[in-house]
Amino acid sequence: AEARQRLPASAPPPALAPASTPELTEESEKYLYPLGGHWVLQGPSPRNYSLRATSRSAVAAVQPAHRTLTHSCNIMSVPESKYLSPVWRDGLFNDRVVFVTGGAGTICSMQTRALVRLGANACIIGRSEGKTEEAAKDIATVRPGAKVIGIGGCDVRKVESLQAAADRCVRELGAIDFVIAGAAGNFVVSLDGMSPNAFKAVMDIDVLGTFNTIKATMPHLLRSPTPRILFISATFHYTGMPMQAHVSAAKAAVDSLMASVALEYGPRGVQSNVIAPGAIAGTEGAARLMSSEEEAVRAYEAGIPSGRIGTVRDVADATVYLLSEAGTYVNGQVIAVDGAAWRRQGAVSMGTDKSMQYPNFLLGDDISKNIKDTRKPKL
């Protein structure tokens, strides 16, 4: 029943929110996302509410952000509909092994969960031993017989640490067929406020860590009949983004490394691509970078050409496609999973009246009346 089960009768009921707090509604329910083995309610603005529970039925009401409710029970915490579309065939990745850096993070854990659900076994890598091992155990619940190893205490900045993790993965699971390089660092800071050490920290994790991941896993990938490596990037560097110069520089380098892998290892059968998520609801990145004002979030969402903020399922589905046989001929590409959001930079500044917001001025019967100093279109 995809974790819609009721709590055991013996379990204490979850604490209720204060009377002044709005109840969980159908509208707010779409902002309910899995994170680290729990349900997290974050929405409609990512920082407005935060509620943790291990099943949907344990979510009784919306809690203010400064209060966190945790209700423990042995119920699978993430329904399949949250991380995987129903179009994929069971057993799609049988006998395949995926190696994931940053595998306990919100996005990478959902990518891994989707692959394991479809037959793969997995090895997830992280700095925190407890968080990584807990995430591995949780992911393994999606399929009977699934093998998911959590290797904590791994520093992607040190190639020998990654080599030891890759060797253990092969020793215990037999191979590495897919790699997802998702370890990353981020914080919000201006160029004026950023120290050289802060800039170096992000470059070391994102760029050096990605290079080290390639070095540590490529010897194993080349032994696989289906060698695929997928890098997790961003879209900031396409147009630039304030307070994210360090991340923009790092992700531009990641994209470049991906292209080099495609060119150098493509002739040896390796498929190399980037997934660049946009704003993904329920993630640490969205909570850090998006406004805490509901009106601002709604305005941002309205400005996305696809009409909504992304979900972890959007990223997981793109991952399944690229790692499946259907994506075999897609190589050396950056796949932005953002609803075309990054392309709206020019669309919102093309001389519309101040009262008009993208995409509203495009949706009427007579577009020309919404544009300043223009002529009516001729057929």
| Residue among 251, 292, 368, 372 flagged as catalytic | 251
Shortest CA distance to 316 belongs to which of 220, 182, 205? 182
Q: If we measure between CA atoms, which residue out of 95, 96, 122, 118 comes closest to residue 109? A: 122
Which tens digit of pLDDT belongs to each residue from 294-312? 887 888 888 899 999 999 9
For residue 148, is it left (φ>0), alpha (ψ between -120 and 50) or beta?
Answer: beta
Measure the N-to-C terminal CA separation of the chain; round to a whole number of Å. 54
Q: Indicate if 251 belongs to the active site.
A: yes
- Structural domains of the chain in order of their starting residue, each with its CATH number: 1-79 (no CATH), 83-342 (3.40.50.720), 348-379 (no CATH)
Q: Check 55, 233, 248, 272 and give the catalytic one.
A: 233
What whole-number distance in Å separates Cα of residue 179 and Cα of residue 43?
32
Per-residue model confidence (pLDDT) at position 68: 33
Q: Which tokens go with 107?
A: 């996005």
pLDDT of residue 47: 35
Model confidence, pTM: 0.76
Handedness of CA 247, 249, 253, 258 (dihedral sign): positive
Neighbours of 44 (CB within 10 A): 17
What are 113's two structure tokens?
């969960």
- What single string gives the DSSP state of each residue in 106-125? HHHHHHHHHHHHTT-EEEEE
pLDDT digits (tens, 9 = 90+) for 85-132: 999 999 999 999 999 999 999 999 999 999 999 999 999 999 999 999
* Residue 191 identity: L
- Give yes or no for a cis peptide into 13 (omega within 30° of 0): no
Q: What pLDDT score was predicted for residue 67? A: 30
369/373 Cα distance (integer angstroms): 9
Beta carbons of 311 and 281 less than 8 angstroms apart: yes
| Vertex 307 angle, CA 297 and 304, to 5° | 65
233 tagged catalytic: yes
Distance between CA atoms of 303 and 299, rounded to whole angstroms?
6
Residues lower than pLDDT 50 in the chain: 1-31, 34-76, 346-354, 371-379
Rounded mean pLDDT of the chain? Answer: 80
